[in-house]
Structure 1
Amino acid sequence: MGSFSSLLVLLCVLMLVKQGTANYNSSLSYQHHQRSPALHNYREALSKAILFFEGQRSGKLPANQRISWRRNSGLSDGASAHVDLTGGYYDAGDNVKFGFPMAFTTTMLSWSVLEFGGFMGSELSNARTAIRWATDYLLKATAHPGTIYVQVGDPNNDHKCWERPEDMDTARTAYKIDSQNPGSDVAAETAAALAAASLVFRKTDPSYSKRLIHASMMVFDFADKHRGPYSNSLKSAVCPFYCSYSGYQDELLWGAAWLHKATKNPKYLNYVQANGQSLGADESDNTFGWDNKHVGARVLLSKEFLIGKVKSLQDYKGHADNYICSILPGTAASGSKYTPGGLLYTLPDANLQYVTSASFILLTYAKYLSASKHLVSCGGMTVTPRKLRAIAKRQVNYILGSNPLEMSYMVGYGSKYPQRIHHRGSSLPSVAQHPQAIGCSAGFQALNSNAPNPNLLIGAVVGGPDCNDHFANDRNDYEQSEPSTYINAPLVGSLAYLAHSTRS
Structure 2
Amino acid sequence: MNSFTVFFIISLFILPTFSAQRNRHGRGHHVGTSNHNYRDALSKSILFFEGQRSGKLPSNQRMTWRKASGLSDGSAANVDLVGGYYDAGDNVKFGFPMAFTTTMLSWSVLEFGGLMKNELQNAKEAIKWATDYLLKATAHPNTIYVQVGDANKDHACWERPEDMDTPRTVLKIDSSNPGSDVAAETAAALASASLVFRNSDRSYSRILLNRAISVFDFADKHRGAYSNGLKSFVCPFYCSYSGYQDELLWGAAWLHKATKNPRYLDYIQTNGQTLGADESDNTFGWDNKHVGARILLSKEFLVQNVKSLHDYKGHADNFICSLIPGSPFSSTQYTPGGLLFKMSDANMQYVTSSSFLLLTYAKYLTFSREYVNCGGVTITPKKLRSIAKRQVDYLLGDNPEKMSYMVGYGSRYPKHIHHRGSSLPSVASHPGKIQCSSGFAALTSSAPNPNVLVGAVVGGPDAHDQFGDQRNDYEQSEPATYINAPLVGSLAYLAHSFGQL
- Shorter-chain TM-score above 0.5: yes
Match of 1:408 in 2: 404
Cα distance in structure 2, aligned partners of 1:108 and 1:197: 10
Cα distance in structure 1, aligned partners of 2:385 and 2:295: 15
Cα distance in structure 2, aligned partners of 1:77 and 1:296: 32
Amino acid at match of 2:327: T
State TM-score, norm by structure 2: 0.93
Cα distance in structure 2, aligned partners of 1:457 and 1:307: 39
Could you list the per-position Cα deviations for residues 169-227 of structure 1 after superposition, in whole angstroms to 9, with x for gaps in the alignment? 00001100000000000000000000000000000000000000000000000000000
Match of 1:23 in 2: none
Match of 1:495 in 2: 491
- SS of the residue corresponding to residue 231 of structure 2 reads helix
Q: Which runs of 5+ in 1 are unaligned?
A: 1-35
Match of 1:246 in 2: 242
The structure 2 residue matched to 1:295, chosen from 286, 291, 294, is 291
Match of 1:143 in 2: 139
Match of 1:165 in 2: 161
Amino acid at match of 2:67: R
Contact (CA 8 Å) 1:366, 1:388: kept in 2 or not?
Answer: yes
Is 1:453 equivalent to 2:410 in the alignment?
no
Match of 2:477 in 1: 481
> Which residues of 2 match residues 81-480 of structure 1 at below 5 A?
81-480=77-476
- SS of the residue corresponding to residue 407 of structure 1 reads coil
Cα distance in structure 2, aligned partners of 1:124 and 1:490: 14
Contact (CA 8 Å) 2:408, 2:455: kept in 1 or not?
Answer: yes
Cα distance in structure 1, aligned partners of 2:137 and 2:153: 22
State TM-score, norm by structure 1: 0.93
- SS of the residue corresponding to residue 382 of structure 1 reads strand
Could you list the per-position Cα deviations for residues 36-85 of structure 1 after superposition, in whole angstroms to 9, with x for gaps in the alignment? 99610000000000000000000000001000000000000000000000
Q: Between the two proteins, what is the percent identity of the paired residues?
A: 77
Cα distance in structure 2, aligned partners of 1:52 and 1:215: 28
Contact (CA 8 Å) 1:356, 1:396: kept in 2 or not?
Answer: yes
Change in Cα spacing, 1:246 to 1:290, as seen in structure 2 (3 Å) is same
Contact (CA 8 Å) 1:38, 1:402: kept in 2 or not?
Answer: no
- SS of the residue corresponding to residue 162 of structure 2 reads helix
Amino acid at match of 2:107: W
Contact (CA 8 Å) 1:110, 1:197: kept in 2 or not?
Answer: yes
Cα distance in structure 1, aligned partners of 2:381 and 2:96: 32
Amino acid at match of 2:415: Q
Task: Using the TM superposition, give the Cα deviation of residue 146 of structure 1 relative to its aligned residue in structure 2, in angstroms.
Answer: 1.3
Could you list the per-position Cα deviations for residues 15-51 of structure 1 after superposition, in whole angstroms to 9, with x for gaps in the alignment? xxxxxxxxxxxxxxxxxxxxx9961000000000000
Contact (CA 8 Å) 2:33, 2:498: kept in 1 or not?
Answer: no
Cα distance in structure 2, aligned partners of 1:484 and 1:309: 36
Contact (CA 8 Å) 2:49, 2:481: kept in 1 or not?
Answer: yes
Match of 1:45 in 2: 41
Contact (CA 8 Å) 2:295, 2:312: kept in 1 or not?
Answer: yes
Contact (CA 8 Å) 2:340, 2:351: kept in 1 or not?
Answer: yes
Task: Using the TM superposition, give the Cα deviation of residue 236 of structure 1 relative to its aligned residue in structure 2, in angstroms.
Answer: 1.1
Task: Using the TM superposition, give the Cα deviation of residue 233 of structure 1 relative to its aligned residue in structure 2, in angstroms.
Answer: 1.1
Amino acid at match of 2:291: V
Task: Using the TM superposition, give the Cα deviation of residue 364 of structure 1 relative to its aligned residue in structure 2, in angstroms.
Answer: 0.1
Amino acid at match of 1:464: G
Could you list the per-position Cα deviations for residues 365-417 of structure 1 after superposition, in whole angstroms to 9, with x for gaps in the alignment? 00000001100000021000000000000000000000011100000000000
- SS of the residue corresponding to residue 230 of structure 2 reads helix
Cα distance in structure 2, aligned partners of 1:335 and 1:383: 16
Task: Using the TM superposition, give the Cα deviation of residue 477 of structure 1 relative to its aligned residue in structure 2, in angstroms.
Answer: 0.2
Cα distance in structure 2, aligned partners of 1:390 and 1:172: 45
Cα distance in structure 2, aligned partners of 1:306 and 1:112: 19
Amino acid at match of 1:139: L
Q: Which moved further from structure 2: 38-47 or 52-61?
A: 38-47
Amino acid at match of 2:75: A
Amino acid at match of 1:41: N
Match of 2:7 in 1: none
- SS of the residue corresponding to residue 330 of structure 2 reads coil
Cα distance in structure 2, aligned partners of 1:448 and 1:195: 42
- SS of the residue corresponding to residue 176 of structure 1 reads strand
Match of 1:33 in 2: none
Could you list the per-position Cα deviations for residues 426-474 of structure 1 after superposition, in whole angstroms to 9, with x for gaps in the alignment? 0000000000000000000000001000000000000000000000100
Contact (CA 8 Å) 2:225, 2:240: kept in 1 or not?
Answer: yes
Amino acid at match of 1:123: E
Amino acid at match of 2:270: A
Amino acid at match of 1:349: D
How many positions carry a matched residue from both structures?
469
Cα distance in structure 1, aligned partners of 2:145 and 2:324: 39
Q: Which runs of 5+ in 2 are unaligned?
A: 1-31
Contact (CA 8 Å) 2:34, 2:498: kept in 1 or not?
Answer: no
Could you list the per-position Cα deviations for residues 230-270 of structure 1 after superposition, in whole angstroms to 9, with x for gaps in the alignment? 00010111000000000000000000000000000000000
- SS of the residue corresponding to residue 392 of structure 1 reads helix
Task: Using the TM superposition, give the Cα deviation of residue 145 of structure 1 relative to its aligned residue in structure 2, in angstroms.
Answer: 0.6
Cα distance in structure 1, aligned partners of 2:147 and 2:267: 29
- SS of the residue corresponding to residue 426 of structure 2 reads coil
- SS of the residue corresponding to residue 165 of structure 1 reads coil
Match of 1:11 in 2: none
- SS of the residue corresponding to residue 166 of structure 1 reads coil
Could you list the per-position Cα deviations for residues 311-369 of structure 1 after superposition, in whole angstroms to 9, with x for gaps in the alignment? 11000000000000001100110000000000000000000000000000000000000
Cα distance in structure 2, aligned partners of 1:184 and 1:368: 30
Moved over 2 A (4+): none
